[in-house]
Amino acid sequence: MKYKRVIVWFKNDLRLHDHTALFSACKESSEIIPVYCFDPRQFGEVELGIQKTGAFRAKFLLEAVDNLRSNLIGIKANLIVRIGKPEEVIPILAEELQVEAVYFSEEVTQEEKNVENTLENALWKKGIQTRSFWQSTLFHMEDLPFPVNQTPEVFTQFRKECEKFSTVRKTLQKPEKINFPETELDLGYIPGLSTLGLQEPINSKKGVLPFSGGESAGIQRLQTYFWENDCLKTYKETRNGLLGPDYSSKFSAWLALGCLSPRYIYEEVQRYEKERKKNDSTYWLVFELIWRDYFRFISKKHGSKIFQVQGIKKHVDNWRKDEKLFWNWAEGTTGIPFVDSNMRELNATGFMSNRGRQNVASFLVNDLGIDWRWGAMYFESQLIDYDVCSNWGNWMYVAGVGNDPRENRYFNILKQANNYDKKGEYIRHWIPELSKIPGFDIHQPDSITKNELRSYGVHLGANYPHPIVAFSIREKGVAVKN
C-alpha cells in the first residue's frame, strides 16, 4: 500500500459505483475516510435576491448525502459530514486524522477549481498530498481524440470524432468493504433545510416524478425506466413529451450530483440492446449523454467565458435588465400559457422537460430580450438537476452566444405548442384556471371573445394575466414595451 490513511472528499460524485477516486483510494491506502462538506457559499443569495441553491435542489442534495452515508455504512464505513468551506475544513480534518493524502474528483468550472486549488495549497503546506481524478463524463478526458483545449466547437463534429476514435471505459466496481478507522472524531450531522436557510418545499403531486436523491434511488430509476417499464426502445419518439414520468429518462438530477455514472448508464444501454432491443432510441439516449459531455469539455476549453454575457462567441447584444418582465417570466405570469405552465411546473417541482426549457429560454432571450444570464441564474436556483456546464452551456446556445454555426435559435411558442401540446393537456395540468377553454384555444386565450372567456370562467387581467407579448408580433420576437 502506498498510504496508511487517506481522505476521499465527495463532491458531485455521490455514489459508490464507478467512482475513480474511491476505487483508487481502496487500492492505494489501508484506511479510507470519506468526507462531505456543505459549502455555505452554495446557499447564499445571488443577484435579484435569488437563492443560489433553491429548496428542491437542496433537498435532493441532502437526500443524496444521506444515502451515501447509508451505503457507506453498508460496507462497514461511514461519512464525515461538515458545514464549512472545504478548503478550510478539509486541511483541519486531514491533520487531526493524520491522513497522508486527499483524493477527489476534478471539477470543470472556475468556482469549483478555485476551491480545489486553494485546498491543494493548504494541504501542500502541511505536507499532505492530493490526487484528483477525472470522472464525470462518458468519454474520459484523456481518451478524447483531441486535446481538450481543441474541443470542436460544433457538436456534430465533437460527437463524430468521439464516436469514431474514442471508447467508453469500463465502469469500476463498487468496493465491497472499506477499511474505515476507529476514530473519536464527531462524524457530523446532515443538516436540515432550515440550517441552510431554506424552507421545506411543498411537494406538488402534479410533478413528473417524486425525485428522491441518492445513488440507490438513481439506480432504481434506471431499473424502472429501462427494465420494468421497458421505455428505452421508444425513447426517441417520446423524449419531447411534457407530462408523466416516462417520456424521458429523468436521469439528469442523479447525473448532476454524480449519483449515477454516465458509464454505468452506457453499459446498461448496451445490455438492453443485447437482451431486449437495439434501435435508434437506444442509441439516442447515448447521443444525449454525448451532449452532456460536449458542454463539459466546451466549458473546460473556454473557462469562465461561459458565464459572461458575450459568451464564447464574444457576441455583443443589447440585453435588457427589466426586472418586472423577468419576474413575469420567472413566476409564470406572462399571459402566454405555454411559457407560464412550464415555469409553474419548474417552480412547483424543480423540474421542467427539455422541450419546455428550450421554449421558456428562447422566450426570455428572444421575445423579452432579457439578459440570458438572469435566466441561467434562475434555472441554477430552481432546477433539481442543475449542472453548471449543461445549464450555462445550453443557455449560452439558446442566447446565440455559443459557437453554434446555426443561426440564433428562435422558438415560435405557438408553433411549438401546436407541435407538442396540440390538445392543451399540459396547460390544463398546470393552469387549471384555463382548463375549461376547449382544444388548442387554451394556448391563446386572448384570441377568444370576452363573453366566451367568461363562460369558461376566465377573466383576463383578473384570474389569468393579459399576454405581455402581443400575439400578432410575437413571431418577430418583439416584446410589448410597458
Q: Which stretch binds ligand FAD (CB under 6 A): 17-25, 140-148, 325-333, 383-391?
A: 383-391
Residue 52 or 85 with smaller CB distance to ligand FAD: 52
Q: Work out the number of other CB atoms within 10 angstroms of the CB of residue 308.
A: 15
Q: Which stretch binds ligand FAD (CB under 6 A): 49-57, 96-104, 319-327, 351-359?
A: 351-359
Please pick, from the candidates 326, 378, 379, 464, the single residue that binds ligand FAD as defined by CB under 6 A. Answer: 379
Return the bridge partners of 104, or none. 9, 132
Q: List the grid coordinates of 281.
A: 432510441
Is the Cβ–Cβ distance between 247 and 241 less than 8 Å? Answer: yes
Sheet holding 129-133, edge to edge: 80-83, 29-38, 3-10, 101-105, 129-133
Q: Which stretch binds ligand FAD (CB under 6 A): 132-140, 210-218, 250-258, 334-342?
A: 250-258
- The cell 413571431 sits on which residue? 475
Please pick, from the candidates 395, 411, 426, 464, the single residue that binds ligand FAD as defined by CB under 6 A. Answer: 395
Q: Residue 363 interacts with ligand FAD (CB under 6 A)?
A: no
Q: Residue 381 interacts with ligand FAD (CB under 6 A)?
A: no
Is the Cβ–Cβ distance between 240 and 355 less than 8 Å? Answer: yes
Q: Which stretch binds ligand FAD (CB under 6 A): 120-128, 302-310, 356-364, 458-466?
A: 356-364
Phi, psi of 447 (to 5 degrees): -90, 0
Residue 60 or 379 with smaller CB distance to ligand FAD: 379
Is the Cβ–Cβ distance between 151 and 312 less than 8 Å? Answer: no
Q: Residue 266 interacts with ligand FAD (CB under 6 A)?
A: no
Residue 372 or 464 with smaller CB distance to ligand FAD: 372
Q: How far is the CB of 135 from ligand FAD (least distance, A)?
A: 15
Task: Show the site string, 279-318: x = touches ligand FAD by CB under 6 A, - = not.
Answer: ------x--xx-xx--x-----------------------
Phi, psi of 373 (to 5 degrees): -70, -25
User: DSSP characters for 363-415?
Assistant: IIIIIS-B-HHHHHHHHHHH-TT--HHHHHHHHHHHTT-S--SS------HHH
Q: What angle do CA 272, 68, 214 make, to 5 degrees?
A: 50
Please pick, from the candidates 61, 336, 339, 361, the single residue that binds ligand FAD as defined by CB under 6 A. Answer: 361
Paired sense of beta strands 29-38 and 101-105, if any: unpaired
Q: Residue 140 interacts with ligand FAD (CB under 6 A)?
A: no
Q: Residue 251 interacts with ligand FAD (CB under 6 A)?
A: yes
Q: How far is the CB of 89 from ligand FAD (least distance, A)?
A: 27
* DSSP-derived secondary structure letter, 193: T
Q: Which stretch binds ligand FAD (CB under 6 A): 28-36, 123-131, 146-154, 349-357?
A: 349-357
Contact residues for ligand FAD (CB under 6 A)? Answer: 239, 248-252, 255-256, 285, 288-289, 291-292, 295, 353-354, 357-358, 361, 379, 383, 385-387, 390-391, 394-395, 398
